[in-house]
């Protein structure tokens, strides 16, 4: 499949302020103007998929069709080995209707105690992110990033969002909740692109921001050089 160049304006298909901020920061160096689904008054589609990829596609395609603009969506979550990969695609739902991630982290910890996961070796986990770009004509591209680590208790730090305070990436002693935005997801030369979302974005950037064929919002071949 030939990659498409993403230029101009894109809808970020999320109502999560933390995800929105991260994705805007990742896109900014490429001169891509990003507007959120929330700012446009778009409803959140029902995430009926059984994989991160399926749910990312649902969100991106819904936003692309509603706005007739390219749409950029993320589906991500925490997968804990001792819990059979839970909470996984249901990571946000573990926080209830209010998306209370303190409660979600407490739920993870409570379940880990029930399976006697007390040592670091028994608390291995990974963050997974699938980024999807959908165009109004039906063209879709997907990219996956994974970062492995350990879940800790009590949570550490008040930066980031979601499960960040209880996740320590492999090779580090601090949680994502203790890291600055630059440490967590800034791309080289400013950072190491450490997070799962940054790792997926590096693949996306190489394919659709630094390369790819230029097209207009509706998928038609653009005239002149790509910008």
Task: Catalogue the active-site residues.
Answer: 75
Number of Cβ atoms within 10 Å of the Cβ of 44: 14
Beta-bridged to residue 168, according to DSSP, are 150
Residue 133, classed as helix, strand or coil, is: strand
66 vs 8, 37, 62, 112, CA distance in Å? 18, 10, 6, 41
100 Cβ contact partners less than 8 Å away, ≥ 6 residues apart: none
**Residue 78 in tokens:** 């925490």
Q: Are 92 and 160 contacting, i.e. CB atoms less than 8 angstroms apart?
A: no
Phi, psi of 171 (to 5 degrees): 90, 0
> Is the peptide bond prior to 227 cis by the omega test (within 30 degrees of 0)?
no
Q: Is there a contact between 126 and 147 (Cβ–Cβ < 8 Å)?
A: yes
Note whether 151 and 167 are within 8 A (CB): yes
């Amino acid at each position: 499949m030939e990659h498409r160049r993403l230029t101009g304006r894109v809808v970020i298909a999320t109502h999560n302020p933390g995800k929105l901020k991260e994705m805007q920061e990742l896109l900014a160096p490429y001169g891509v103007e990003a507007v959120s689904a929330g700012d446009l008054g778009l409803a959140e589609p029902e995430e009926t998929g059984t994989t991160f990829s399926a749910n990312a596609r649902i969100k991106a395609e819904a936003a692309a069709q509603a706005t007739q603009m390219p749409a950029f969506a993320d589906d991500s979550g925490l997968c804990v080995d001792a819990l059979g990969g839970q909470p996984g695609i249901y990571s946000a739902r573990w926080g209830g209707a209010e998306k209370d991630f303190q409660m979600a982290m407490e739920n993870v910890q409570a379940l880990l105690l029930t399976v006697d996961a007390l040592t670091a070796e028994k608390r291995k986990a990974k963050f997974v992110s699938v980024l999807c770009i959908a165009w109004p004509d039906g063209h879709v591209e997907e990219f996956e990033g994974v970062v492995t680590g350990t879940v800790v208790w009590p949570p550490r730090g008040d930066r980031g969002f979601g499960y960040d305070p209880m996740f320590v990436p492999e090779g580090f002693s601090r949680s994502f909740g203790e890291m600055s935005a630059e440490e967590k997801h800034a791309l080289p030369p400013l950072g190491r692109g450490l997070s799962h979302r940054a790792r997926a974005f590096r693949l996306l950037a190489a394919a659709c921001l630094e390369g790819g064929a230029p097209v207009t919002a509706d998928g038609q071949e653009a005239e002149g050089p790509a910008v």
